Amino acid sequence: MRLLVATPLYPPDIGGPATYVRVLETGLPESGIQVAVARFSSVRRFPKLIRHCAYFFMLLRAGRDADVLYALDPVSTGFPAALAAKILRKPFVLKIVGDYAWEQGKQRFGVHETLDDFVRTKQHSVSVQFLQRIQTWVAKQAKTIIVPSAYLKGIVQRWGLPGDKIHVVFNAVSVSSFGKVPEEAALSRPRIVSVGRLVPWKGMGGLIDALVQVREQFPTASLTIAGDGPDRKSLEGYAGARLQHSFSFTGALAHEDILALLREADVFVINSTYEGLSHLLIEAQMIGAPTVATDVGGNSEVITDGKDGLLIQSGDREELAEAIKKLISDTELAASLHEHAKQASERFLPSGMLAHTEEILKKSV
């Protein structure tokens, strides 16, 4: 089989799709599946409409030699891939790791609901409705849809897709090599670390507020936030006003450096209001970083509260602060979570994901 993967991100980009596509690229050929990759990043330098047209023609050319087109998001790569597959009369498979219309609505169009409320509510923004129609149309063109969590399967079913078309395949993560902790991130201990795109639903402002409370008991506690995004400037200003010192925004880091940062964390925090199935959370589990995460989306499919991490209610800054302080002060608990996390993360090894994905792709031909 010859597989063409349409991906929005590719290393050295950071993010779930970039990590995922490398696993496919290196693992599937061992099962006889040739993998070619169409990188959206190669056309990102063009203006918006032009870049999507250029990407569509790229897929048309590359897709002639493919048996299956596999897109890793429902809009930026999914829409041109669905059109190309339709013209070429090739099977189209789609991976959905989030609701694109909701994400854009949160960033650009004044959407305030959680994802769970969003998919149950008629939207009044014409722009959001347009994006909803696009992602639903693309999903309906797909012969098969892959999602990384049972939570996201329920979300996609809310788009009007039948459940038997949607397959849950946990993301695979391989932690093999570590880079270096950036000099500006080597702060005082206890070291609190968070990683993610700097957008509203990642909850970085709430984490900064929680650190204010943590420092009342642990004055040397520091905060390192790795990642970039549209909220970076405002978050840096907010951290300066609230924390004054011992915090660092590293910007985007190479994947190996992120792993090194997770390994050196005294507490790793995911304070988001939404997660599909977080690669970072799985990587933190594999490394054994004592972790606090919000009980949203697919997080509870990765962490069992009190056994291999702590789950807290989203938006509760006091509970977040208390959970961080608990992991700092209770070294026995932190050590126990460390060991159990590494054991539990074995279900996310690449071998299982690749075998399941191979089975789905071969059935789509």
List, as one string, the DSSP characters of 280-313.
HHHHHHHHT--EEEES-TTHHHH--BTTTBEEE-
Beta strands in the chain (DSSP E): 2-7, 34-39, 68-71, 92-95, 144-147, 166-168, 191-195, 222-226, 247-251, 267-270, 291-294, 310-312
**Averaged pLDDT for residues 56-64:** 97
Q: Are residues 192 and 70 in the same domain?
A: no
Q: Are residues 142 and 289 in the same domain?
A: no
The residue with greater pLDDT, 174 or 336, is 336
Residue 124 lies in a domain: yes
Question: Distance from CA of residue 202 to its chain's centroid?
Answer: 11
Task: Among 98-112, 175-189, 320-334, name the one with the lowest average pLDDT.
Answer: 175-189
pLDDT of residue 14: 72
Q: Are residues 151 and 86 in the same domain?
A: yes
If one counts the domains in the chain, the total is 2
For residue 36, the cross-strand partners are: 4
Give the span between the Cα atoms of 357 and 115, in whole angstroms: 26
Q: Are residues 260 and 123 in the same domain?
A: no
pLDDT digits (tens, 9 = 90+) for 257-300: 999 999 999 999 999 998 888 889 999 999 999 999 999 989 99
**Averaged pLDDT for residues 101-125:** 93
Residue 177 lies in a domain: no
**Reported pTM:** 0.81
List the structure tokens of 316: 């509760």
Task: Spell 337-348 as b/e; 16+ CB within 10 A means b.
Answer: bbebbbebbeeb
pLDDT of residue 346: 80
Q: Are residues 254 and 327 in the same domain?
A: yes
12: containing domain: 2-172+349-364
Residue 83 lies in a domain: yes
Q: What is the CATH number of the domain that holds 276?
A: 3.40.50.2000
Q: What is the crossing angle of helices 204-217 and 317-329, to 10°? A: 50
Residue 178 lies in a domain: no
Q: Are residues 343 and 356 in the same domain?
A: no
Q: Report the Cα–Cα distance between both ends of the chain, in Å, rounded.
A: 9
Q: Are residues 281 and 326 in the same domain?
A: yes
C-alpha neighbours within 13 Å on the C-beta side of residue 211? 33
Give the span between the Cα atoms of 83 and 81, in whole angstroms: 5
Q: Are residues 129 and 188 in the same domain?
A: no
